[in-house]
Amino acid sequence: MKTAVRTAARRRTLGVALTVLALGASAVACSKGDSEAGESPSMTPAAAVAEAAKNTEDITSLRYRMTGKVPEQGRVEAEASMSMKPMAMSMKMSALDAGADSGKVELRFVDGALYMGGGAAAAKEMDGKHWIKFGDLGKNAGSSGAGASGMEDQVKKNPAQESTFLTGSKDVKKVGTEKVDGVETTHYKGTVTLDEFRDSLKDEDKATREAREKSLQQYETMGIDKVTMDMWIDPDEHTKQFRMRGAADKGPLDMTVTFLDFNKPVTVRAPAAGDTVDLAETLRDAQEG
């Protein structure tokens, strides 16, 4: 019974982790310039946000820290590294409301496969092995998307799309200048409905429109129709920190992402095969048996 409870808790933690990944790896903006703390003197707040949104394709890798609350799941903390080419992700996450035994998890996405590690607590349930390899189970993962295909969909997303939401805001404003992790930044804030954001895409090219449309889907699934956004832009016009808040069907979303670096090498290695349970093989063996 205890094993079943712990396993169910870890599945819940994996769901939280994938939600965190979807939200966190979608909150970067980047543009170029040498002006003061993320704003040209001649730019209005809306123009500064639009300029950042226009230059979101330059990011090839990033590292970030995330804290906040996920609807239904509760409080989370995470730190992650992500590479877009090749696609790879490493994330260590704590679901603070899941309990000490099951709330900590490490995810790795590498070579098209998703791995989840739960440390010593997981090893007690898996004959001493610390990792589960999910493989290509997305088609069997149901609505949770908790398989490699679901993870790959998140990794393939350009990690800048949510920051472009502010381009649809009708009330974006400059709040002031603030230091974030010792870096001087310009703080912007605005509210935007998903319909307003979608309407703002009508003049974009097809590829941009499709990419940004995808970023809407996770919010629609959660039942969020309006978000409040804060963005802190550093002197190089990178987003140093980002906060998104909204009312979902199953509770509040309130996530803050702090970006630690951009475009630096990211290496993600698969866990040792001898320390890994291959879930696809286990299911296949069970079916054959």
The pLDDT score that the predictor gives to residue 147 is 44
29 pLDDT above the threshold of 50: no
Report which DSSP code applies to 82.
Answer: E
Amino acid letter, 263: N
Give the CA distances from residue 150 to residues 23, 93, 146, in Å, rounded to whole numbers and listed in that order.
14, 18, 6
Band of residue 214 on the pLDDT scale cut at 50, 70, 90: confident
List % helix, strand, coil for the chain (3-state, nearest 5). 35, 35, 30
Q: How far apart are CA 155 and CA 176, in angstroms?
A: 33
More confident residue, 212 or 85: 85
Band of residue 172 on the pLDDT scale cut at 50, 70, 90: confident
Query: Between vectors from CA 16 to CA 11 and to CA 22, what angle results, nearest 5°?
Result: 125
Helix (H) or strand (E) holding 116: strand 113-117
Give the CA distances from residue 243 to residues 14, 40, 146, 159, 190, in Å, rounded to whole numbers and listed in that order.
22, 22, 25, 15, 11
Q: How far apart are CA 53 and CA 212, in angstroms?
A: 10
Residue-wise pLDDT tens digits, 55-93: 566 778 889 898 999 887 789 899 999 888 888 889 998
Asked if residue 41 has a cis previous peptide bond (ω within 30° of 0), the answer is no
Q: How far apart are CA 43 and CA 15, in angstroms?
A: 41
Which residues touch 82 (CB under 8 Å, ≥6 apart)?
25, 61, 62, 63, 64, 88, 89, 90, 155, 159, 266
Closest by alpha carbon to 84, among 107, 56, 106, 65? 56
More confident residue, 16 or 121: 121
Give the CA distances from residue 17 to residues 34, 145, 245, 261, in Å, rounded to whole numbers and listed in that order.
36, 11, 18, 21
Q: How far apart are CA 209 and CA 120, in angstroms?
A: 45
Give the CA distances from residue 112 to residues 136, 138, 253, in Å, rounded to whole numbers and listed in that order.
8, 11, 29
One CATH from 3.40.50.720, 2.50.20.20, 1.10.3720.10, 3.40.50.920 for 2-288: 2.50.20.20
Q: Own/partner pairs for 98-101, CB < 8 Å, 24+ apart?
A: 98/9, 98/12, 98/13, 98/16, 98/74, 99/9, 101/6, 101/9
Q: Give domain limits for the chain.
A: 2-288
Q: What's the predicted TM-score (pTM) here?
A: 0.77
More confident residue, 10 or 236: 236
Helix (H) or strand (E) holding 191: strand 183-193
Average pLDDT of span 123-145: 66
